[in-house]
Structure 1
């Protein structure tokens, strides 16, 4: 039964890959804001943050830029890993809940090595709550001495899975997809005091 579930999971994953590629091929993609900062040729590297529910819409956008993606170290992460491999992203696997420890040092080592690149982290984490920023992206930013680069995605035509905690978005073909990259935000150790409330509020205000 496990083999059957794994097979069906992989089939669903490959369908998801080719569907989102078809959506991008048939849609108008509009980039606004500081989108040039996302390119691999840019000297400064960032922690790119976006909402978990928008993650599927984003996959083809930075294809070939060689960036790193944080994903969970479980079965769900296995399928995300397949998608990332297809689009040329490198995954760093961590547990669902990780506020630091050795995982942070592993992340810093990976993204600062010979393949130095931008790192993406879902702002509200793998489990939510919805649009409530976690501390993890900001802790990572401080440890790696990188700025946070917020990114939002707006699809004119879409399906949202309201039964999921993240309102997971599936864009429709023949669409208009707008991606806006905001100005980078610098995070200091002081910002992490008091559960990083101040920097979380700043990011929420930025991404509204």
Structure 2
């Protein structure tokens, strides 16, 4: 018999531990002005992240307390992630590229427009390929007329889950994390045909791969 765990019972301690760990991390940041200048103009903006750097960059995002919205799947695991993120200050649109993707894109688009939130997307998630930009962020950015800020996080001596598809990284307590925010990327005004999407995704991918440096 499969036992169903109440997501709240998992999310509450996870969020607590996440907040405690975040307070121990030492962030070194370059390019924050690329984001804040856009926010000062009240222009819509999105952050593009790699999935394996999600832990450290979400932690850094918590410290800034900006108004974020991200996506999580419609699965039970997604419910746990949603409740955890909401407890650390993020809003969440449910769905993913594998389950309810259109629903999530529409939900995020609506929340960004209505509430003026910063969209946060792991552009190679949820299942890869690793460091390959998928096209969802381009569609949302065009629909919301948003600029995209590429964002990277390099963690000092991280715990790496080597068997995961993305080699997911978790920051250890009291470690240093280098955060880089790149120059704003503007999606083309052209109709997003498959060919145009491929070109735009390749441009963003190149920018992200070349952004910043590790330890």
Structure 2 unaligned runs (5+)?
210-215
Distance verdict in 2 for CA 1:187–1:76, change over 3 Å: same
Following TM superposition, by how much is the alpha carbon of 1:168 offset from its aligned partner in structure 2, in angstroms?
A: 1.0
The residue number in structure 2 matching 1:162 is 162
The residue number in structure 2 matching 1:67 is 68
The yes-or-no answer on 1:34 pairing with 2:35 is no
Corresponding residue SS for 1:207: helix
The residue number in structure 2 matching 1:201 is 202
Aligned CA-pair RMSD: 2.6
Whether the aligned pair in 2 keeps the contact of 1:34 and 1:183 (CA below 8 Å) is: no
TM-score between the two structures when normalised by the length of structure 1 = 0.85
- Map of 1:32-111 to 2, 5 A cutoff? 32-35=30-33, 37=35, 42=40, 43-63=42-62, 64-97=65-98, 103-111=104-112
Residue deviations 1:108-156, cap 9 Å, x none? 222111x211111111021111111101111111111111111100101
Rounded Cα–Cα distance in structure 1 between residues aligned with 2:107 and 2:165 = 29
Whether the aligned pair in 2 keeps the contact of 1:35 and 1:180 (CA below 8 Å) is: no
Residue deviations 1:66-110, cap 9 Å, x none? 211111111121111122111111101124437975654433222
The residue number in structure 1 matching 2:20 is 22
TM-score between the two structures when normalised by the length of structure 2 = 0.83
Corresponding residue SS for 2:110: helix
The yes-or-no answer on 1:120 pairing with 2:123 is no
Structure 1 unaligned runs (5+)?
none
Following TM superposition, by how much is the alpha carbon of 1:58 offset from its aligned partner in structure 2, in angstroms?
A: 2.3
Count, aligned residues: 205
Residue deviations 1:19-45, cap 9 Å, x none? 433333222111111356159953222
Rounded Cα–Cα distance in structure 2 between residues aligned with 1:5 and 1:57 = 29
The farther-off stretch of 23-32 and 186-195 is 186-195
